[in-house]
Structure formats: C-alpha cells, structure tokens
Amino acid sequence: MVSPASRKSLLKVRVMDFITSTAILPLLFGCLGIFGLFRLLHWIRMKAYLRKAVVVITGATSGLGKECAKVFYAAGAKLVLCGRNGEALEELTRELNTSPATKVQTHKPYTVTFDLADPGAIVAAAAEILQCFGHVDILVNNAGISYRGAIMDTTLDVDKRVMETNYFGPVALTKALLPSMIRRRQGHIVAISSVQGKISIPFRSAYAASKHATQAFFDCLRAEMEQYEIEVTVISPGHIHTNLSLNAITADGSRYGVMDKTTAQGRSPVEVAQDVLAAVGKKKKDVILADLLPSLAIYLRTLAPGLFFSLMASRARKERKAKNS
Ligand SMILES: NC(=O)c1ccc[n+]([C@@H]2O[C@H](COP(=O)([O-])OP(=O)(O)OC[C@H]3O[C@@H](n4cnc5c(N)ncnc54)[C@H](OP(=O)(O)O)[C@@H]3O)[C@@H](O)[C@H]2O)c1
C-alpha cells in the first residue's frame, strides 16, 4: 500500500520529470521571447510614430495640455502649442527649449494664440498652424472649461459658452485641419473628453453635455475617416489635479474659483500626460483613464440604468442639502 504522502511526492516527481523531459520549458521560454519581442517592436514603432511628428496641442498653457506639451516634446515631436494666453505659451516654449537634453532630438515649438470659443478665429488659426511645419500629423484637442450649477439657474448663454469651448471649437479646428490630412492620407485626431462624456453627473449639465457631444462626434469621425487612414482617439480621464474646477464657470457665467476636493485628489497631470502619449503612440481608439469607481459607474449606466439614475438622484439630493445648509 502506498501512503497518500508518498503518492503526492510521486506525483510531484512525475510532473517535474514531464516538465524537464519534454519540450515544455523551451516552448514556454520561446513564447515569452516572442511576446517580449512583440512588445519591443510595438514600443519601437510607437517611438518612431511620435518622433518628428507634427503635434498640435490646444490648451497648452495649463494643466494636462502643458504636461502633454512636455511629454510630446521629450518624445521628439515638432510642437505647435495653442492657447489664449500668448505670454504663457512663450514661457512654456522657453521652458521646453531649456529643458535638459534627451537621447531623442527635440525641436523648437511654435505657438499660435487664439480663442476656441471665437468661431471667426479658427479658420485663420488653422492656416497659421499649417504654416508652422507645412502639415499636421496629430491634433490633440485638449482645451476645455468646466461648469458648476443647477440647470434651472443657468442662463442659455452659459450653456452655449461651454459648448463653444468644449465642442464647437474643437469640431471647427478639426474640420479646418482635416482637408490637409485627407490629401496626405495621414493624420491623427485626439479628443480629450472626460468620464463625464460617458456618464452625466448632477450640477455639471453643460460640461457633461459638451463631453457627450465630443464623444459622439469623434466616434462618427473615426468611422468616416477610416477610408483615409486617419486615426481618431477619444480619451476620457477621471479627476486630474489641475485648475479645471478653479476655472469652471457657474450658472451666471462667473468664475467658480474653488479647487474641488475631488479635483485636488485627482491624478497628477504628469502621469495622465504619459498615458495620453502612450494611447496616441499605440493609436488606441477609445481610452478611459479613471479609477475603479468611475469605470464601474460607466458600466452601471449601461447594464443597470435604473440603479444608476437612482444613485445620481440621491447625489443631487445630497448636494442640494449641503448647499442649503
Ligand atoms: N481636470 C480634470 O479633472 C479633468 C478630467 C477629465 C477631463 N479633463 C479635460 O482635460 C482637458 C484639460 O483641462 P485641464 O484639467 O488641464 O484644465 P485647465 O488647467 O483649466 O486647462 C484648460 C486649458 O484649456 C484652455 N482653454 C480654456 N478655454 C479656452 C478657449 N476658449 N480657447 C482656448 N483655450 C482655452 C485654457 O487656457 P487659458 O490658460 O487661456 O485659460 C487651459 O490651457 C479639458 O478638456 C478637460 O475637460 C479634465
């Protein structure tokens, strides 16, 4: 009779014999090697894609846009930095030009100053952008403003202002740059949306609406541009520690001026910019850069909408109560 303990050790020996006597180990190492090689090739392709690419970044004066400028610059991209504040753009250019040397060859950025909420300025701005390096490879529609307020207190002008900056501005700029991309059959449009482009949170109506519209427009664009080999990436971050809530507008159009706790506790824009660079380099189509809770909320909205709506109503009640107390 063989005892259970010796049967176990016999089995162990047989398994080890099988592993060492057959081709399993070489096969395992072979698979790991192929996987590693595949990753390396992917990484090399990504680096090559970004090096010397002409990248336009809107909202480069602050927060995520500014950090994107730094990571794309370090990756060797030829930058066109856009914003409303020309001085801030020049200061960023000086900072980039004097940053420590990297292995990758870097390029002196250009700046183009214009207001995305001014439809009349965009065609001229696009022409100026195209003159910088002769073409555009990647447009990063990053600029945006947020909003805090109750729908019933908010003037339609405020809704329009948020839509102009977050939706119509990027759409107009994209349309103005697309013909040259189509001619070259090459280009990449990136939209920095938000988790609020996928789910709507009470007292953020104008912002959530503008980001839902962004998601919808750029999803349509992706399908329509496939024939020209033009890539479209929509990136939806959760909270990022930037000035977004400070710069948000309220129901009457005045500046909110508060650093919200959620924004203050958000991810560092430096890290998010690295994720944006990777998503663009890998030509991802749709990326959510958020923690577990907002990511779950997106699934909940699709799979159990009734429950999601109850949670949002309860959130609205709580916020109203806190405001009135
Ligand atoms: N922070 C977050 O929690 C968060 C989360 C999800 C998504 N996002 C998105 O990330 C993007 C960047 O925002 P951020 O967090 O970096 O905020 P931010 O620090 O306030 O930066 C916003 C940028 O947009 C520019 N901008 C605003 N209105 C403009 C206009 N009319 N014309 C041209 N430029 C304009 C600002 O320029 P000025 O310096 O001239 O004001 C600034 O450079 C936005 O699309 C935002 O919706 C942010």
Instruction: Answer whether residue 3 is part of any domain.
Output: no
- Classify residue 288 as exposed, middle or buried by CB count within 10 Å of its CB (0-12, 13-18, 19+): middle
pLDDT of residue 32: 85
SS3 label, residue 142: coil
Q: Is the pLDDT of residue 2 over 70?
A: no
CA 157–ligand 1 middle distance (angstroms): 19
Q: How many domains does the chain have?
A: 2
- What span, in angstroms and rounded, lies between the C-alpha atoms of 13 and 17? 6
CA 255–ligand 1 middle distance (angstroms): 14
Instruction: Answer whether residue 231 is part of any domain.
Output: yes
Cβ neighbour number for residue 188 with a 10 Å cutoff: 21
Same domain (yes/no): 96, 197: yes
Instruction: Answer whether residue 30 is part of any domain.
Output: no
pLDDT of residue 38: 85
Instruction: Answer whether residue 85 is part of any domain.
Output: yes
DSSP H helical segments within the chain, as ranges? 4-21, 24-50, 63-74, 86-97, 119-133, 156-163, 169-184, 205-225, 261-264, 269-281, 292-303, 305-324
Instruction: Answer whether residue 22 is part of any domain.
Output: no
- What span, in angstroms and rounded, lies between the C-alpha atoms of 111 and 133? 12
- The average confidence (pLDDT) of the chain is 94
CA 145–ligand 1 middle distance (angstroms): 5
Look up residue 46 and give its two tokens. 């990504």
Same domain (yes/no): 323, 235: no
Q: Band of the pLDDT at 1, cuts 50, 70, 90?
A: low
Same domain (yes/no): 296, 284: no
Active site residue 256: no
Residue to probe by mutation, ligand 1, list 64, 70, 171, most atoms within 8 Å of CB: 64
Nearest CA to ligand 1 atom 23: 59
Ligand 1 pocket at CB < 6 A:
58-59, 61-65, 83-85, 115-117, 142-145, 165, 192, 194, 237, 239-240, 242-244, 247, 263, 266
pLDDT of residue 146: 98
Q: Is the pLDDT of residue 163 over 90?
A: yes
pLDDT of residue 154: 98
pLDDT of residue 100: 85
Same domain (yes/no): 285, 318: no
Same domain (yes/no): 95, 198: yes
Nearest CA to ligand 1 atom 17: 244
Q: Band of the pLDDT at 22, cuts 50, 70, 90?
A: low
Ligand 1 atom at minimum distance from 241 CA: 1
pLDDT of residue 76: 97
Which are the contacts of 86, defined by CB distance < 8 A and separation ≥ 6?
Answer: 111, 113
What is the percent of the chain where pLDDT is above 90? 83
N-term to C-term CA, the chain: 79
Q: Is the pLDDT of residue 287 over 90?
A: yes
For the segment 9-18, the average pLDDT, to the nearest whole number, is 80
Q: Kindly report, residue by residue over 62-114, the tens digit of the pLDDT.
A: 999 999 999 999 999 999 999 999 999 999 999 999 998 788 999 999 999 99
Instruction: Answer whether residue 147 is part of any domain.
Output: yes
- What span, in angstroms and rounded, lies between the C-alpha atoms of 120 and 53? 28
What is the domain extent for residue 77? 51-290
pLDDT of residue 55: 98
- Contact status, residue 54 vs residue 80, Cβ threshold 8 Å: yes
Same domain (yes/no): 243, 319: no
pLDDT of residue 11: 84
pTM comes to: 0.91
For the segment 279-285, the average pLDDT, to the nearest whole number, is 97
Residue 93's CATH number: 3.40.50.720
Q: Is the pLDDT of residue 20 over 80?
A: no
Ligand 1 atom at minimum distance from 64 CA: 16
Picking from 151, 166, 193, 190, the residue whose alpha carbon sits closest to that of residue 294 is: 193
CA 60–ligand 1 middle distance (angstroms): 8
pLDDT of residue 5: 75
pLDDT of residue 79: 98
Look up residue 186 and give its two tokens. 């090459």
CA 142–ligand 1 middle distance (angstroms): 7
Picking from 304, 102, 139, the residue whose alpha carbon sits closest to that of residue 230 is: 139
HSE of 33, CA atoms in CB hemisphere, 13 A: 6
Instruction: Answer whether residue 209 is part of any domain.
Output: yes
- Contact status, residue 78 vs residue 69, Cβ threshold 8 Å: no
Q: Is the pLDDT of residue 47 over 90?
A: no
CA 262–ligand 1 middle distance (angstroms): 16
- Among residues 110, 167, 207, 256, the one annotated as catalytic is 207
**Range 309-313, long-range pairs (CB < 8 A, 24+ positions):** 312/200, 312/201, 312/202, 313/202
Instruction: Answer whether residue 226 is part of any domain.
Output: yes
Picking from 271, 195, 202, the residue whose alpha carbon sits closest to that of residue 235 is: 195
Residue to probe by mutation, ligand 1, list 247, 259, 262, most atoms within 8 Å of CB: 247
Same domain (yes/no): 307, 262: no
Residue to probe by mutation, ligand 1, list 56, 57, 62, 70, most atoms within 8 Å of CB: 62
